[in-house]
Amino acid sequence: MTKRTSLFYVSSCLAGIISGPLQEWLLQKFHRNNGVDMGWGGGEPFKCMFVVDAIISCPIGLYTLLVNPNTPTTTDAWYFSDQDKLVALERYNRMQREASERGDINGSSRSAKSSGYRDLFKSWHIFVFPLMFLCFHHSGWAIGQPTFQTWMKYDLKLPSSKYNFYPAVMSGINMMVSVLCSFANDYFGNGQTNHYFILGCFTIFGTASTLLYIWEIPTWLHWSAYFMIGCTHSTPPPLIFSWLNRLLANDEYKRGSLIFATNTVAYFTSSWLQILVWNAADAPKYHTGFLFTTVICILGFGFTSAATFLTYHDHQKSHQHDANEEGSLPLLSADD
């Protein structure tokens, strides 16, 4: 589960690897032409970038329309054989039957939505996982503003060939770290060491943000702090969502609702919180932003610790329940 989620999530890092060198290529082309109109979008590099984005995006959008597999019950994808579609449909129906049987056994039928909502809000998951992911999501703006590029450009006075290249290197390392941690969690931790990696990431983010909030630190510490955040930022999401899915594997309704809530809370708040916290006028120091990130990392560490404790508590209750059921079974004699 973690590996698949990680491979999906880090695909977004590919844009970070490509965008910097692509911008640098446009800048160099503009400079070679001595600022003369390059023939796209008015000549200025940032305008030409929109044209390049359109050239890249249109084929990807068309490709997505053509290869979207849809769902097992509605798919008409041309690359699936009839047997593939039947296998997917049978697997889907089997999962539905198993979920229904589990609901009957647990006495929690989902036919009434109100009952499902009450059951959802009685569990601790709905109050912990959305806030945990919220803390992670907002900690990422410490590298995504772009704080790193503005520091290199305005404080270090580095040329564009540097401040467009180093973030691409960071994105590549970020991809590798995320995939390696996900594989390590599945292979060495049997998919149950998510919390160690997440706690480690919040510790790294918080330490780096504190250093950047102080700001008056050696240059090498600045480099270290930015790379600490940028090279580990894609690690927590696959671990958070695989943890959530594992805990609620037997409750399809709660799992789907919680995944929706976890995503929605984070992305809804980011639409306006960035404006309040990461003011462009504060660049490159961003004191408010780095202070906010430090605080939210402490909160994220707390929510992760709470989820770890509650997960352990649930496992203990489950084991105790199983032991009690085994102890209540009647013993059969040899005559029986």
Per-residue DSSP letters for 86-129?
HHHHHHHHHHHHHHHHHHHHHT--SSSHHHHHHHHHHSSHHHHH
DSSP 213-245: HH--S-HHHHHHHHHHHHTTTTSHHHHHHHHHH
The SS3 call for residue 333 is coil
Residue 110 has pLDDT above 80, yes or no: no
Residue 159 has pLDDT above 80, yes or no: yes
- Residue 250's pLDDT is 78
Alpha-carbon span 259 to 127, nearest angstrom = 12
Using DSSP, how many helices (H) and how many strands (E) does the chain show? 15, 0
pLDDT: is 123 or 112 the higher one? 123
Total residue count of the chain as it appears in this document: 336
- Residue 109's pLDDT is 46
- Residue 145's pLDDT is 78
CATH code that applies to domain 2-11+124-313: 1.20.1250.20
- Residue 189's pLDDT is 75
Least confident piece of the model among 59-73, 217-231, 281-295: 59-73
C-alpha angle 72-256-182 in degrees, rounded to nearest 5: 90
* 280 token code pair: 């462009």
At which residue do the structure tokens 């329940």 appear?
321
Average pLDDT on 224-249 reads 91
Give the rounded distance of the alpha carbon of 241 from its chain centre. 8
- Residue 154's pLDDT is 92
Residue-wise pLDDT for 35-60, tens only, equals 555 555 455 777 777 888 888 889 98
Residue 213 in contact with residue 291, Cβ under 8 Å? yes
* 299 token code pair: 């909160």
Alpha-carbon span 215 to 212, nearest angstrom = 5
- Residue 35's pLDDT is 53
* 221 token code pair: 């510490």
**pTM, to two decimals:** 0.82
Residue 139 has pLDDT above 80, yes or no: yes
* 97 token code pair: 């039957």
